[in-house]
Amino acid sequence: MQFSTHETGANPLKLWDSAGPFEAGAMQQLRNVAQLPFIHSHIAGMPDVHWGMGATVGSVIATRAAIVPAAVGVDIGCGMMAVRTSLTADQLPDSLSAIRAEIERAVPKGMETNQKANHAKGGWAATPNSVARTWYDRFESRWRAILAKHPKIDGKTGDQLGSMGGGNHFIEVCLDEADRVWVMLHSGSRGTGNRIGTYFIDAAKEAIAKETLDFHLPDKDLAFLSEGSQLFDDYIEAMHFAQDYALANRELMMARTLDALRRHLPAFKTDKAAINCHHNYAVRENHFGADVWVTRKGAVRARKGDLGIIPGSMGTGSFIVEGLGNEQSFCSCSHGAGRTMSRGQAKRSITLDQHRAAVKGIECRVDEGVLDESPAAYKDIGAVMAAQEDLVMIRHRLRQIINIKG
């Protein structure tokens, strides 16, 4: 076993920290969560752990008859998708700039949505295509039911479906160890999940404030919802909606990206079995003899045989992995490299020249707007992977040749 065990006076921590000690703030958050009386067995910390809102990013939290909305977070269902094509590196043009521009026109990014005027550039249409229409129809009745119960959850769903967003979300074209071409992307439930998450985090705080607890809540952001309450049931309904929305969002992004590639490259096929996995979500599972809620906040499910995606940074490549089913991690692994710098710190510390050198040879943005996503802002992905050899087996290592940030 590669994890270390830390006693907390309540539930222990099992941490895959051999890549280096976790930051003090993150450790305190892990200890805070471990004090909650409904924790099941222990808290698992993945090697990419870093500070988050309420609970650390990179933590796996199993709970009995309760759930912490802030531990799930506001980017509900955020995750990764990857598909291997039949293309190989020798079928790509010498310059990839036109392909990058085509993908950027095809997929809304940053604050852009499907309704934002971009048609003059030959971009996406405001009217969704038939694939997107199917998803809109599938989600509409569910969304209306949620809003009927909680009308303060404001906003539309359709205009962001199939869009990337900003921050650490991205689209990449990559090559594997055999120079086969892959497409990989990272996004979630966009504004829809954010509004759901924010609303129920606030609702949980309001509900807890009205109760007399027989224990100390170590952080107000750990306000929880108890199973059996109407608010709990409503949150689960809305959370599942957001997770399904995130899956669909990635499918539509992938379809648009592949269509963009087809306009520039020879005819190609894709593997039928694409990988599409969440890394910010909660799900009902059985662990150590009990049915519990497992919240993976920045972690990927890695049951034996599960395929997952662990990205590094926009300059260091990524991994396709197969789960080993390690029960001590609640069958989980890291969701990436994990940050070493806050976004503000990265923008202050990393120069444009340093960023340019770090992404040399990759068709990507080289400007001050992405310095917070530069490779130096992240942990060493090699060390992170070495720290979880008992959690996953590496199937493929991907190196990006095109990277698109919001």
Task: Determine which one of 42, 335, 355, 396 is catalytic.
Answer: 335
> In this structure, are strands 13-15 and 39-50 parallel, antiparallel, or unpaired?
parallel
CA-wise closest residue to 405 among 170, 96, 102: 170
Which spans in 226-287 are helix H? 230-262
CB 337 within 8 A of CB 312: yes
Helix axes 230-262, 190-209, angle to 10 degrees: 160
| Dihedral sign, Cα of residue 324, residue 329, residue 332, residue 338 | negative
Contacts of 378 (CB under 8 A, 6+ apart): 312, 313, 316, 336, 337, 338, 339, 340
- Whole-Å CA distances, 74 to 155, 195, 352: 15, 7, 31
> Is position 119 annotated as part of the catalytic site?
no
The count of other CB atoms within 10 Å of the CB of residue 14 is 20
In the chain, what are the helix, strand and coil shares in percent, each to the nearest 5?
35, 25, 40
Q: Measured between alpha carbons, how far is 136 from 113 in angstroms, rounded to an integer?
A: 15
Residues 355 and 366: beta-carbon distance below 8 Å: yes
DSSP 8-state secondary structure symbol assigned to residue 7:
-
For helices 230-262 and 130-149, angle between their N-to-C axes, nearest 10 degrees: 160
Catalytically annotated residues: 335
